[in-house]
Structure formats: C-alpha cells, structure tokens
C-alpha cells in the first residue's frame, strides 16, 4: 500500500486449485521480530503451507493457522460449563456456545506442551 511504506502485506496462492480457481490468501505482517526480508518471509509462509499433517496436499494457509483453529475449537470442550447443543433436542441454538460464565479446566502436567488436538 503506497500510503503505508512500513506496512508489509502480500497475497499468496501456495496450493493447486482442485476445483475451479484457487482463492489467494492475503497476509498482513504485523510484527517481524526475526527481521526477515520480504522474500524470506514469503518463502517461510510457503513452506509452512506444506507442513500440515492432516492434509495430503498443500493447504492454502500456513499450518500454525490450522493448529490454532483446532486448539480454539478444542478449548470449548475444556470449559466447566460446556454443553453439547447438538444433543439437546429442545435447544433453540442461536449461534452461541452455550457456555456462559465459568472457568476452563486446568491442563495436567503430562499434557502441557503437547498438541493433543492433532
């Protein structure tokens, strides 16, 4: 963007379009603590799109993005007031998780640092 010379962003299509035209991902560099150049940063992003273990092909986003999504989805099951709305026949689900106020269960020492949702 010409208005923000210190603001890096780029588009990338690391994957093959299986059906139709692939949609490019738009990346915004918020912090570059490693002081990588534009080519190095784009190369790292491209390599991370090949590192997702749950897919047999190249994915459209870097693997840590998918892992973060899985971790966020798993977190709802660790909430003390988790309720499975799918099993509630009389539920009139309006898009909320149904958790309300409460706390999250603590992670055991054995599970700390383990990506158990993978």
Q: Is the pTM of this model over 0.75?
A: no
Q: What is the pLDDT of residues 65-109, one digit of tens each?
A: 888 888 888 777 777 666 665 554 444 444 455 555 567 777 778
User: Which residues, other chains included, contact 105 with Cβ-Cβ below 8 Å and sequence gap of 6+?
Assistant: 78, 79, 80
95-100 contacts: CB < 8 A, separation 24 or more?
none
For residue 82 the two structure tokens come to 């988790």
Q: What is the pLDDT of residues 34-49, one digit of tens each?
A: 999 989 999 999 999 8
Query: What is the Cα–Cα distance from 97 to 83, expressed in whole angstroms?
Result: 8
């Amino acid at each position: 963007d010409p208005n923000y010379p210190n603001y890096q962003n780029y588009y990338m299509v690391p994957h093959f379009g299986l059906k139709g035209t692939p949609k490019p991902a738009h990346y915004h560099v918020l912090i570059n603590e490693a002081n990588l150049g534009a080519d190095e940063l784009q190369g790292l992003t491209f390599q991370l799109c090949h590192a997702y273990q749950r897919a047999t092909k190249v994915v459209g986003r870097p693997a840590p993005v998918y892992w973060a999504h899985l971790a966020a989805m798993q977190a709802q099951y660790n909430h003390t007031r988790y309720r499975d709305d799918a099993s509630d026949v009389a539920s009139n689900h309006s898009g909320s998780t149904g958790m309300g106020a409460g706390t999250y269960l603590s992670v055991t020492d054995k599970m700390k640092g383990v990506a158990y949702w993978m």
